[in-house]
Structure 1
Amino acid sequence: MKIAILETGAPPGDLAGRFGDYPEMFRRLLLEDGDQTETFDVAAGRLPADPSAFDACLVTGSSAGVYDPLPWIAPLKAFLNAASGRTSLVGVCFGHQVMAEAFGGRVIQSPKGWGVGLHRYTASGEGWLSGLDTLAVAASHQDQVVEVPGGARVVAGSDFTPLGALYYPDRRAISIQLHPEFTPDYARALVEARRGSRYTDEQADAALASHQGANDRLEVGRRLRRFIEAGGA
Structure 2
Amino acid sequence: MKIGILQTGHAPDELLRDRGDYDAHFQRLLDGHGFTFETYNVVDMSFPESVTQCDGWLVTGSKHGAYEDHPFIPPLEDFIREAYEARIPMVGICFGHQIIAQALGGHVEKFAGGWSVGRREYDWNGEVIALNAWHQDQVIRRPEGAKVLAANDFCENAALVYEDRIFTVQPHPEFDSTFIEGLAIHRGPGVVPENQLQEVVANLDRPVNNNQLAAKIARFFKERTVA
* TM-score bracket for this pair, using the shorter chain length: over 0.9
Q: Displaced runs of 4+ in structure 1, greater than 6 A?
A: none
Q: Does 1:48 align with 2:42?
A: no
**Which moved further from structure 2: 201-210 or 71-80?**
201-210
Q: Answer whether contact 2:66 2:108 (CA < 8 A) is retained.
A: yes
C-alpha distance in 2 between matches for 1:100 and 1:168: 10
- The equivalent of 2:144 in structure 1 is 150
Amino acid at match of 2:160: L
Quote how far apart the aligned CAs of 1:33 are: 7.4
Amino acid at match of 1:145: V
- The equivalent of 2:197 in structure 1 is 204
Matched length: 225
C-alpha distance in 2 between matches for 1:180 and 1:52: 26
Deviation readout 1:40-77 (Å, 9 max, x if unpaired): 01122222222223221000000000110111101100
C-alpha distance in 1 between matches for 2:35 and 2:49: 20
- The equivalent of 2:130 in structure 1 is 136
Structure 1, gaps ≥5 residues long: 126-132
Alignment root-mean-square deviation, CA:
1.5
SS at 2:12 equivalent: coil
- The equivalent of 1:160 in structure 2 is 154
Quote how far apart the aligned CAs of 1:231 are: 4.3
**Which moved further from structure 2: 92-101 or 50-59?**
50-59
Q: Structure 1 pair 181/218, CA: closer, same or farther in 2 (3 Å)?
A: same
Q: 1:181 aligns with which of 158, 169, 174?
A: 174
C-alpha distance in 1 between matches for 2:133 and 2:188: 15
Amino acid at match of 2:29: L
C-alpha distance in 2 between matches for 1:231 and 1:222: 12
Structure 2, gaps ≥5 residues long: none
Q: Does 1:194 align with 2:195?
A: no
TM-score, normalization by structure 2: 0.94
TM-score, normalization by structure 1: 0.92
Q: Structure 1 pair 135/16, CA: closer, same or farther in 2 (3 Å)?
A: same
Quote how far apart the aligned CAs of 1:196 are: 2.2
Deviation readout 1:156-214 (Å, 9 max, x if unpaired): 011001110000005x1010001000011111111111242222321111111122211
Q: Does 1:7 align with 2:7?
A: yes
Report sequence identity in percent.
Answer: 37
Quote how far apart the aligned CAs of 1:97 are: 0.1
